Amino acid sequence: MSAAELDPDAIVINSFSKYWGMTGWRLGWAVLPEDLVEPLEALASNFALSPPAPAQELALSAFTPESYAERDRIVEGFAKARALILDAAPSLGWGTAAPADGAFYYYSDLGPQLERHGSATAYARVLLERADVAIVPGVDFDPVAGDRAVRLSYAAGEAAVAEALDRIIRFQA
């Protein structure tokens, strides 16, 4: 069922970035009631230049049953990788976490690891140097308390996440 079928006044605005893997293309789309199409076009023309025609054509080709099936397989892989992290969370021994529901990141306070390393930045640096695992310190997302937290991406897939978790747990032992 479409948004318009659920509510004729529904407005849906989205992009191709995350779901379709077209990050950086700066392409989006909208589903609007007919009376809002012209005002949105007028507004959009003041905020954006036209993206390259090849990018627009490629984005349109995403709306096929085959493309949706492929994206569903990829999203399923993200869900499996996310589950690995959630299952490993007690073994990581980090602090309070905010597992994402709509993205592919696990954001967690470092808990006891913060005391051991002094900051999320120091922890991320030594983890990369000694265990070859790259995570991002939270300062990139929270300038106030971010150096107490890290963000672990699960976009690399189930196998890479499993390997990273194993390395992190061994590193902390």
Please state, as a whole number, how many other Cβ atoms lie within 10 Å of the Cβ of residue 16.
19
How many residues are recorded in the chain?
173
Mean pLDDT of 89-98: 92
- Alpha-carbon torsion 156, 159, 161, 163, what sign? negative
pTM of the prediction?
Answer: 0.74
- 50 class by beta-carbon count within 10 Å (0-12 exposed, 13-18 middle, 19+ buried): exposed
Residues 51 and 87 placed together within one structural domain of the fold: no
Which of 63, 78, 93 delimits the end of a domain?
63
Domain end, chosen from 33, 63, 93, is at: 63
Same domain, 107 and 147: yes
Query: Where does the chain have alpha helices with state H?
Result: 3-6, 34-45, 53-60, 65-92, 112-117, 120-131, 158-172
Distance CA 68, CA 17 (A): 14
The parent domain of residue 157 ranges over 68-172
| pLDDT (mean) for 97-120 | 89
What is the average per-residue pLDDT within 101-120? 90
The confidence score (pLDDT) of residue 62 equals 85
User: CA 85 to CA 99: how far, in whole Å?
Assistant: 9
Q: Give the separation between CA 135 and CA 52, rounded to whole angstroms.
A: 33
Q: Which residues contact 90 (CB under 8 A, 6 or more apart)?
A: none
